[in-house]
Structure 1
Amino acid sequence: MADPLALDAAGVPPTPFEIPGARGQFRIQVLNEDAGRGVVTSIVHIPPGGFIPAHFHRAGPEMHYVLEGELLERGQRHGPGAFLTQAAGVVHGPHESEGGARVLTVQHWQSRDGQFDFHMAEATPATDDSPRAAEGVPGESREQAERNLGGGYG
């Protein structure tokens, strides 16, 4: 008997979606939405040459696992098996992919009531330990942000 909680991602068709300031036609497969916990799990299809500008989310943390292809995060290359995390309010990106990628993403709701929790930000150098956002998210150290990461997933 099949596990009623198991989901075959191949059975979920990817649909186009827009990301503010992005280049390329992105598609998404929403695998699970847990309204009680406010968590959504999806596979994001990044097109060849795709680009998402540096940004942050206020709603909560997000996690990315590269399934296929290569993701460039602030110019650093991450191939299949790479795992990246960002706490709420922490600037991340720009994200790019030269040849395209599929990325499993778990995040707090990024869209609610038609409002997309995506805030453009100035990219910070990789050596900078403090988040810096164009809209002034209250600063906390990267260490504090990492301790808070996943607080809503319990």
Structure 2
Amino acid sequence: MAIFGRARRPAPRGRAARHGRHGREGRSPVVRPPLPPIDTRVERFDIAVGAAAEYLRSAWPELREVSFEIGRLPRATDDDGIPRWSVDQEAGRIVLYRIPIERLGRLHRVDEPQRRMMIEGEVFRAAAEYLGRDPWDLRPERFRFF
């Protein structure tokens, strides 16, 4: 069929989409697309402990030189059951045990904010034991409006 006096030819077979105009394969990009960060329970625990420890260090000068460490499990149980932290005042060290805190903590609702508040509460309790104070005394002005 002629359109305006020209004969219609079939379209030439094109090259595959991955080939360039010279017939070679295209090069792959040097940098891959960004992947979402790996978000594990251990990393979330580390972040929650680190944030609470930094807050306490800024609020209490006695805690500035204290080392907040994370352990998996305590070596032994005590009279109260499985300890969630241990305090060594001579070494200036607080060790929080991740597995007992995560497994034995009771959550009102099983979601990330509740889990983080539970972890931060354990950090506050451990720091209060180190300082010889009540956990509520570590930040009393926060609760004065209630």
Name the TM-score class by shorter chain.
Answer: under 0.3
Bigger fraction of residues in strand: 1
Higher helix share: 2
Q: Normalising to structure 1: TM-score of the pair?
A: 0.25
Larger Cα-atom Rg: 2
Question: What is the TM-score normalised by the length of structure 2?
Answer: 0.26
Q: Which has the higher contact order (CA 8 A, sep 6+)?
A: 1
